[in-house]
Amino acid sequence: MVKFTLHDIFGYLFPGFVTLAAITIWASPDCLSEASIQQYENIIWPMLIIALVIAYILGTVVTSVAGTFLVLGPMKEVLPESLTGRLDGAVTRILCEGWDKESDKQRSHLLDRTCDEYVLQLERKDRYLTKTEMFFYRIDYCRGSVVAFLVLGLSTFLSLVLRYGVLGTSTIAVHLAILLVSAIAVVSFSERFKRFWRLRQYYIAINFLILHREKAQEKSHRRGPQGPTPKFSRWN
């Protein structure tokens, strides 16, 4: 059975409807006139269902495009150096000394993936997985909305500029209002996207360091006070 989740609504349908509105405004700028708006009251259910399907498809495309182009840096570019230094030392012990010979790009990727997988493999906590997925879904929703409102703003601007002489006063006012809303939405969703990206990176890093320290202490206790100095006794 196919489940329809909140991510489908906010991650796909919402940006899809915004993109569909952008296409409609470009194809038919008169759709914003008072006469056209009054006709929408007589819309039939089959047309609404078709619009939902089209919006969902457009939303998946927009969100995929956003996921390709709207990407912030890895942990080393998001977190402070004091934290990434500890992550580097711990991951070096896990992956062995040779991994630091890789390129900076590969090391950054390995650092992110290792921290995440370490917590998942050793703890398998449902809460951790749920929390990281929550951040991912919100990131997906925000960056998909950024692209959708960019398309809406661009479509409205071009429609206004290229057809300014034939548009009525009320239609021009609606165009300007949509431009303002689009600009505010792009800025707002961009900031939310950056915030959730940073929060997800911090959450993964902190959980990794806490778990790594706990495992090191457990290993130290098993060796006893007379044993050799444990390899994971402290972070570097």
Structural tokens at position 1: 């059975």
Residue at token pair 């706990």: 214
Residues in the chain: 236
Write out the H or E segment, with its range, that includes residue 43.
none
* Per-residue confidence (pLDDT) for residue 148, from 0 to 100: 93
pTM for the structure as a whole: 0.75
Domain ranges of the chain: 6-222
In the predicted model, is pLDDT for residue 185 greater than 70? Answer: yes
pLDDT over 80 (residue 20): yes
The rounded distance, in Å, linking the Cα atoms of 229 and 5 is: 50
Nearest Cα neighbor of 11 from 134, 129, 113 is 134
| CA 198 to mean position of chain CA atoms | 11
Copy the structure tokens of residue 213: 């320290």
Residue with tokens 């809406």: 152
Q: Each residue of 50-89: pLDDT tens digit?
A: 888 888 999 899 988 888 888 877 777 778 877 777 887 7
The DSSP letter of residue 104 is H
Can you tell me which residue has the tokens 């939303």? 59
The mean of the pLDDT values for the chain is 77
Q: Encode pLDDT of 169-184 as tens digits.
A: 777 888 889 999 999 9
In whole angstroms, give the CA distance from residue 207 to residue 166: 59
Q: 212: number of CA atoms within 13 Å, CB side?
A: 26
Residue 180 confidence (pLDDT)? 94
